[in-house]
Chains A and B, each alone.
Chain A
Amino acid sequence: MRINLGGEQTYLYTNNKDIDATKKTIVFIHGAGFDHSVWTLFARHFSRHNWNALAIDLPGHGRSGGEALLSIEDNAAWIIALLDQLGLTKTALVGHSMGSLVTLEAASRLGERTSHAVLIGSIAPMPVSEPILDATAGKPSLAHSMLTSFAFSKRNLLGGNPNPGMWMVSDSMRRYEDEDTMALDRDMRACNSYTRGLEAASEITAPTLMIHGDADRLTPIKATKPLLAALTNARLSTVPGAGHTLMVEDPNHVLDQLKNHLF
């Protein structure tokens, strides 16, 4: 589905369904340098179970127009504007990595309008190392290699994808290559400069689920503790052997946890 939001074309994957404000709604928010297509398996599931399932392309990503926004706060404001335009008054928000920070900020601002929150591969703060920022600023190929390498557990860099015949490493590289170079850099800097994560977490009242790989090398599981402590109504589900890109590394575990949290 394509809509005009603030003068820019905005793409929402909805599994070819119209949005019905009377149904329950789940919104999937992708991470840095990615787009809606990392969520399509999950969105199809919720769609079949009669939810509005929206996997959005943030501005400047995937099939949405415009430029990538400069901050997590701007992305959260954009999400809220989107929900307002669609007339959605209560939604579950699911975010991965940068998308989890957008989820934190948006959920804190939306208050009672957030029915549930799910933070996948999330820590707060989410500092980005200087070598990665240097690479995203001017060496995109290196940035793609670095992020792909760190996004999977060491074991999963050798494959074993539950999706038959798919090689996660090249798939990740192609996704980064397909995205606008500036968008990836802006995304990384937005993550790095977002300082309100723990404060936002403390303001969220909706039941919140964190899903994290125990072999995450980008956002190590030990670093989840401050965020988990700041959330007032949260639990952590750990995915054994998985790294940062859980939707790809172990989609069945993620879907089972989403269902457990939301159904």
Chain B
Amino acid sequence: MTDYSPAELDTLALHAGGKPDPTTGARATPIYQTAAYCFPDSDYAAALFNMERPGHVYSRLSNPTTGVLEERIAALEGGVGAIATASGQAALQLAIMTIMDTGSHIVASSALYGGSHNLLAYTLPRFGISTTFVDTRDEQALQTAIQPNTRLVFGETVGNPGLNVLNIPKVSEIAHAHGIPLLVDSTFTTPYLIKPFDHGADLIMHSATKFLSGHGIVIGGLLVDGGRFDWDASGKFPQLSEPYEGFHNLVFTEEFGPAAFISRARKEGLRDFGACQSPTSAFYIMQGIETLGVRMERHIANTRAIVDFLSAHDAVASVTHPDLPSHPDHALASALLTQGASAVFTFEIKGGRDAGIAFVNGLSLFSHLANVGDAKSLVIHPASTTHFRMDEAALSAAGIGEGTIRLSIGLEDVKDLIGDLKAGLRAASKAAGGSS
């Protein structure tokens, strides 16, 4: 902590939002496993319900344990406040439902996690909210996609599956010129690799299940409000700038200043949709966040060594990672993601689908499963698993080859990881009819 600046990331990851328990002295944040909270008297209760006092009423709305997690992620991201949700998908849904109505429109990056794509492409249209997907590298396409009813631009800091790096400064500039906020999914990057609010993003969501937790034992999401977007000046968000009948006609921007968005998301979105996070999940996620800095440093160091190893291997056709000069976003990643781009990446194995399957079967240390961001290294062969229904043409359109392998690099000793990868590559080469 310097004279005038807040504490650094590693300090905030351990301390922000938490204090020793005032009753017991417990140093760890306790799990307040309770649904509701006693009121000292009737006036105090009325004051809580009428937002005259801060405090807890019912754990769907807030909870002392989840409150610490929320404050911690807000501190790490530099936001004014945050809400913990049941999953990353719940965080995305909460962000959208807070500022959109039937007839609203989203412009989203075409490089999105499949679950987010499903929500935008198939589910939200049932409720009158449509999405145009664009290649966010194409500024003109982005400009053209924005309509009079567009209310949100959405992308991932590092997108699936090609590790597309979102040009947050440029995309936010375009969004803001139209009076629209930019929401980014920073699951792959975490605040260790990039702080999107510093580059122009307005809202951040995370699947906390991934790198923030690191242990792969919990499902949870987080939504953070940067507090800089001017909802009044935009004129497009009556949900925040005009009286809200559901709360005695209060105007969120008048009442809560820079915290207008996150306040409505809690007062309405958590209250009515109810996708809250359990205090036990919040406790587990905090255990992960405490070591975020040291883990991410190791994730990135291991990833760099493995990217170098695979790039030089005869059985590998190509490696897709922004660290490599061959990646289309290499220069952008060098400017925005100075600590590293991601510990999740793909490579193309020679020999196609059979080689890919043989590679995965030949591994013993990497876990074969559909997740990323675990402390343990993970692998999946999309053509035979997550995308197995697609033919070659459809796979190609999705940027996935028959021999594409996705790795999520963990914290094991990198010598052991490379040894395991060598075994997998030998198996792949045999399946492809070659030797290595």
Contacts and interface: CB of A to CB of B under 8 A. Distances in A.
B423 to A, nearest CB: 46
A-B residue pairs, 8 tightest by C-beta: A165-B70, A174-B258, A167-B74, A164-B62, A163-B54, A45-B52, A164-B67, A37-B257
A109 to B, nearest CB: 29
Contact of A251 (B15, B54, B79, B228): B54
A16 B248 contact: yes
Interface string B238-252: 000001000011100
Interface stretch (B80-88, B142-150, B345-353, B359-367): B80-88
Interface in B53-86: 53-56, 62-64, 66-67, 70-72, 74-75, 78-84
- Tell which of A41, A149, A170, A177 has the most Cβ of chain B within 10 Å: A170
B227 to A, nearest CB: 4
A166 interface: yes
A222 interface: no
B3 A167 contact: no
A28 to B, nearest CB: 13
Q: Is the interface of A mostly helix, strand, loop or mixed?
A: helix
Interface residues of A, number: 38
Interface of B: 1, 3-7, 11-12, 15-19, 46-47, 50-56, 62-64, 66-67, 70-72, 74-75, 78-84, 226-228, 243, 248-250, 254-259, 262, 266
Given A163-B54, A165-B67, A252-B53, A157 B6 contact: yes
Given A149-B6, A167-B71, A252-B54, 17 more contacts: A37-B257, A40-B51, A63-B254, A142-B4, A145-B5, A157-B6, A158-B16, A158-B75, A161-B54, A164-B63, A165-B71, A166-B262, A167-B79, A169-B75, A174-B80, A174-B257, A251-B54
A165 B225 CA distance: 11
A69 interface: no
A230 B12 CA distance: 42
Interface in A132-172: 142, 145-146, 149, 155, 157-167, 169-171
A42 interface: yes
A255 interface: yes
Contacts of B17: 158-161, 167
A149 B74 contact: no
Contacts of B19: 155, 160
Contacts of B6: 149, 157, 169
A256 to B, nearest CB: 9
Given A160-B18, A251-B53, A178 B258 contact: yes
Given A40-B256, A160-B19, A170 B79 contact: yes
B83 A165 contact: yes
A188 B172 CA distance: 34
A48 B81 CA distance: 27
Contacts of A177: 228
Given A159-B18, A167-B16, A42 B52 contact: yes
Contacts of A178: 257-258
A255 B44 CA distance: 11
Contacts of A186: none
A80 B319 CA distance: 71
Interface string A173-197: 0110110000000000000000000
A162 B19 CA distance: 12
17 contacts: A13-B254, A37-B257, A44-B51, A45-B52, A48-B47, A149-B3, A161-B17, A161-B71, A165-B62, A165-B71, A165-B262, A166-B259, A167-B17, A167-B81, A169-B75, A174-B227, A252-B54
Contacts of A252: 53-55
Contact of A37 (B5, B75, B255): B255
Contacts of A158: 7, 11-12, 15-17, 75
A41 B254 contact: no
Contacts of A174: 80, 227-228, 257-258
Contacts of A157: 1, 6-7
A216 interface: no
A179 to B, nearest CB: 10
Contacts of B62: 164-165
Nearest to A159: B17
Interface in A28-66: 35-37, 40-42, 44-45, 48, 63
B10 to A, nearest CB: 13
A171 B80 contact: yes
Given A48-B52, A165-B62, A37 B254 contact: yes
Contacts of B53: 41, 45, 251-252, 255
B257 A166 contact: no
Nearest to A152: B6
Contacts of B7: 157-158
B4 A145 contact: yes
Given A45-B47, A165-B74, A170 B257 contact: no
Contact of B4 (A149, A165, A167): A149
